[in-house]
Structure 1
Amino acid sequence: MKTAGKKAGTGVPLARALSKMGVASRTVASTLILTGRVMVNGQVVRTPQHPVDMRRDRIFLDNQPVRPRTKVYLALHKPPGVVTTRQDEKGRKTVYDALGEWGKPDGQWLAPVGRLDRASQGLLLFTNDTQWANHLLSPESHVAKVYHVQIDRHLDEPMLERLRSGMLLDQEEQTRPAQVRVLRQGDKTQWLEITLREGLNRQIRRMLEVAGAEVLQLIRVAIGPLQLGELKKGECRLLSPAEVAALTAPRADSDRPA
């Protein structure tokens, strides 16, 4: 069987095309391609970056035609202690262990929309609709993410205002303005509600570290209009068409700072 040469012109890289069609992650798709299991227009392709036209080219995996999968939108209440990745080199549990049938390797490939670190919990979305996911992740979309955060001390009003105004992290990254309010507090701890419209790596933990506080619990309770609600830790559910549409609908306050 012949191996296809590099296709002239522009297109979507083959590994990305397989990911967009819900076959596998780009990493797994690249392995499928390198091992000769993928054909394009009757020829084996072993180059993950080989450009293809997803509307016209005929793509086969293990001699079976690859067609776009049904679009899936899933909400998970990520429990603490699991990592947001497909496989973990340290053998730790991942979010896919909590997805049940949806998380099986032979099922539809669903990618997380953003991340929550291992210690955090709360609302985490999954989909095979890359365009929808990219909209939610884009800073230009101004999709708000709301977190409830327990810290080990009380922050006074000047420090809360500093969090609201934006701050420099590690002398490298400047945060955008955020909404911050006190939910409740005990003798030694305080619960804050923090709303962000950006997603810097471990942003809330880093912001509060600059403020001199340690995060005890961090729960994402909403993404845009979608609430975590009564979804229990480790449970997932499909989003309704109305919820999917609401997450990408233009919002009247989208041009305001958080």
Structure 2
Amino acid sequence: MSPSRQTTNRSNAARYGLARVLSKLGVCSRSQAEKAVREGRVSVDGRVVLDPEGPTDPERQRICLDGEAVVAAKRVYVALNKPRGVVVSAADERGRDTVYELLAASGLPWLGPVGRLDKASEGLLLLSNDSVWAAHLTDPRYHVDKTYHVQIDTIPAQTVLDQMILGVTDNGERLAAKRISLLRVGEKNAWLEVVLDEGRNRHIRRLLETQGIGVLRLIRVAIGDLALGDLAKGQWRHLSAEEAAGLHNK
């Protein structure tokens, strides 16, 4: 292969869609970047680009958003104790409270949620502007454990717990838990500890529903080795460099 052909290949390999580049630089989400590009708010080397998929090389081209040069944002990693009734969304068309209202006065840069918790669920939620780190934690290939404490409306037999570990089918989709154990038992209900190494939409609720079990509370208490600990409901904290690196190395 000629030297000129090699140079061309290296150049092409460094070019990504403009919206993806903005997201990877940590200045906004992919959807926010696409919107900004279509609105004519982004220029590359002084020329307004309206195509979010327009090939862009962030190392060789000057990108501006609203007239300001875009530089890679400092990577920020945050743990939040999400309260019940709050949605994981930057804006909600139905006017519901969002997790971003809990961060509004924090002075933090734009952060994206790393995975999801539905409105009725609570507990540990990670947010970051490091899209590569976030993608690693949510990629099913890496099987990062997520641990939940779940209050249910019955006292289950061990055979029922075993069945959910073996796996069930719900609407054509296989659902299973990596581990399930009884934490404590009351007169009419119980608490389970459920560990997942994959995350499907409403995974635990659907899994329990297949066994006729209803969920009273669902709290995520750990992701990998990172525990929710004593972080107060609605509060957040920065992850240490060691904590962030430890999760990425799972």
1:248 Cα deviation from its structure 2 partner = 1.8
Mapped to 2, the partners of 1:134 and 1:85 lie a distance apart of: 17
**DSSP-derived class of the 2:105 partner:** helix
2: CA distance, partners of 1:237 / 1:24: 20
1:184 corresponds in structure 2 to: 184
Q: Which residue of 2 aligns with 1:109?
A: 110
Residues 123-138 of structure 1: matches in 2 within 5 Å?
123-138=124-139
Tell me how far apart the structure 1 counterparts of residues 56 and 105 of structure 2 sit (CA, whole Å).
31
Match of 1:207?
A: 207
Structure 1 runs, 4 residues or longer, greater than 3 Å off? none
Contact 1:19/1:109, CA 8 A, preserved across alignment:
no
Identity %: 49
Please list every run of 5 or more consecutive structure 1 residues that lacks an aligned counterpart in the other structure.
1-7, 251-258
User: How far did 1:31 drift?
Assistant: 2.2
**Cα deviation 1:96-146 (Å, max 9, x = unaligned):** 1112334x7xx5221000000000000000001111111111111111000
User: Counterpart amino acid of 2:96?
Assistant: R
Shift, 1:9, TM fit: 5.4
Give 1:245 shift.
Answer: 1.1
* Contact map agreement 1:143 1:197 (CA 8 A) in 2: yes
- 1:23 matches 2:24: no
What is the count of residue pairs matched by the alignment? 239
Q: CA deviation at 1:249?
A: 2.1
- Give the Cα separation in 2 of the matches to 1:30 and 1:101: 26
Tell me the SS of whatever aligns to 2:31.
helix
Q: Is the 8 A contact 2:222 2:228 kept in 1?
A: yes
* Cα deviation, residue 35, structure 1: 2.0
Residue 39 of structure 1 aligns to a residue whose secondary structure is: strand
Q: What residue is the counterpart of 1:145 in the other structure?
A: 146
Q: Is the 8 A contact 1:166 1:178 kept in 2?
A: no
Question: Over aligned residues, Cα RMSD in angstroms?
Answer: 1.5
- Secondary structure class of the residue paired with 2:247: helix
* Structure 2 segments unaligned to the other structure (5+ residues): 1-10
Partner of 1:198: 198
Structure-1-length-normalised TM-score: 0.89
> CA-to-partner distance for each residue in 1:148-183, whole Å, 9 max, x for gaps?
00000011011110011111122x111245200000
Alignment TM-score, normalising by the size of structure 2: 0.91
1:100 aligns to what SS in structure 2?
coil
Instruction: Give the match's secondary structure for 1:81.
Output: coil
> Contact 1:76 / 1:99 at 8 angstroms: preserved in 2?
no
